[in-house]
Amino acid sequence: MTTELSSDTLARAEWIAGSIKFLSGDMARALRTGCFFLAVPADLDLRPAVRFARSFFEEGGGEWVATDAYSGYRNRPDVYFDREGFQTEHVLIDQDRRAEYFDPTLNTLCDRLSEMTESILRAGLVELNVAKSSWDLLTQGAAFGRGTRWLAFNHYRPEKPVLGCTPHKDTGFVTVLYAPTPGLEGWNGTDWVPIDAPADHLIVNFGGSFEAMTAAIDTRVAAMLHRVRETRTDDNSEDRISVAAFANPPAIGEMYGLQDDGSVVHLESIEAFLRRFNDEAWGDEYTDFGIKVGGTHA
């Protein structure tokens, strides 16, 4: 299916008094296309997250140094992932782990980004006319901050002559991405097209959980299939980094779908859904990611 996906025509919004106001296009269009641009709120200081994305892979004190929340993460296999066939290496971290590892400044920012993803999820449910009484079941609590609040900090290693990151759909409901340098591409059904945010804009995209929830209704949400092309760095520029906040369902629970008459049907367990999704996206040893609660990658 060819979509309207293109940087020039994506809907654009800003954040006013805690809610989204569209300046061009609207939420219906955003949900249909899978993506929209959101101006960085004036009071959102992203610098701690950018600092983290630029330094988590550094050695720190040669080993993990507890006093340095911003480096030494290659020694943290519970949150550090080296995607060997791709340029990206990243820290993927949930709320509990970051409460332990991050400093208060970075944690406060992460909370704020997660709250934005959940607020956008609720705005999407309003747009789709979903009865409020169904939100909890359909999102397994994620619309109310009880899902898994993943954060990803991506560093793209320009010395590797491979794709930046694998073509994938994000697994959750909503992603808020800060990617200040070009490189992100979305699939419009025919071609990979650049998704370049205007200056000081976030990229909001919808994920597989939202697509699955709405797959049977006329106003189904498109999860954007996206990748990062091979990024190069010349002598004067810094490596590409990005920061993403994901509103995901909780690791344990069930997936539910909407019907056109407003009723809700059971789809499958979240575990079965995630297992298939992780495997399709990366095809590496991290298939259990987000599943094995109490295990290495939960």
Decide: 169 and 281 in contact? Cβ < 8 Å: yes
Kindly tell me which of 79 and 174 has the beta carbon lying closer to Fe ion: 174
Give the pair of three-digit tokens for residue 141: 């609590």
For residue 103, give the amino acid letter.
D
Q: Is 211 in the site for Fe ion (CB under 5 A)?
A: no
Q: Which pair of structure tokens corresponds to residue 258?
A: 């909407």
- Does 118 sit near Fe ion (CB under 5 A)? no
Q: Which does 184 bind (CB under 5 to 8 A by kind): ligand AKG, Fe ion, none?
A: ligand AKG
Smallest distance from ligand AKG to CB 184, Å: 4
Strand partners, 150: 246
Q: What track of x and - describes contact with ligand AKG for positions 145 through 174 (by CB under 6 A)?
A: -------x-x----------x----x----
Residue 154 interacting partner from ligand AKG, Fe ion, none (CB closer than 5 to 8 Å by kind): ligand AKG
CA distance 223 to 91: 23
- Write out the two tokens for 17: 């008094």
Which residues inside 213-252 make contact with ligand AKG, applying CB under 6 A? 226, 228, 242, 244
**Number of residue whose CB is nearest ligand AKG:** 242
Helices (H), 186-266: 208-214
Q: Does 179 contact ligand AKG by CB under 6 A?
A: yes
User: Residue 239: CB partners within 8 Å, gap ≥ 6?
Assistant: 54, 155, 156, 157, 158, 231, 233
Residue 98 vs 226, nearer CB to Fe ion: 226
Least distance from C-beta 226 to ligand AKG, angstroms? 6
Instruction: Determine the Cα–Cα distance for residues 179 and 42; give it in Å rounded to an integer.
Output: 17
- Which residues in the 248-287 window bind ligand AKG by CB under 6 A? none
The CB-of-15 to Fe ion minimum distance in angstroms stands at 21
Query: From the CB of residue 133, how many other CB atoms can be counted at a distance below 10 Å?
Result: 8
Q: In the bound complex, what is the minimum distance in angstroms from residue 250's beta carbon to ligand AKG?
A: 19
Q: What is the phi/psi pair of residue 256, to 5°?
A: -125, 150
Binding status of residue 170 toward Fe ion by CB under 5 A: yes
Q: How many CA atoms lie within 13 A of 203 on its CB side?
A: 31
Contact window for ligand AKG (CB under 6 A) among 12-20, 113-121, 175-183, 257-265 = 175-183
Which two tokens mark 181? Answer: 């340098």
**Residue count at the site for Fe ion (CB under 5 A)?**
1
Cβ proximity to ligand AKG, 246 vs 256, nearer residue = 246
* Contacts of 297 by beta carbon, 8 Å cutoff, 6+ apart: 78, 286, 288, 289, 290, 291
CB of 100 to ligand AKG, least distance (A): 21
Which residues bind to ligand AKG, rule: CB under 6 A? 152, 154, 165, 170, 177, 179, 183-184, 226, 228, 242, 244
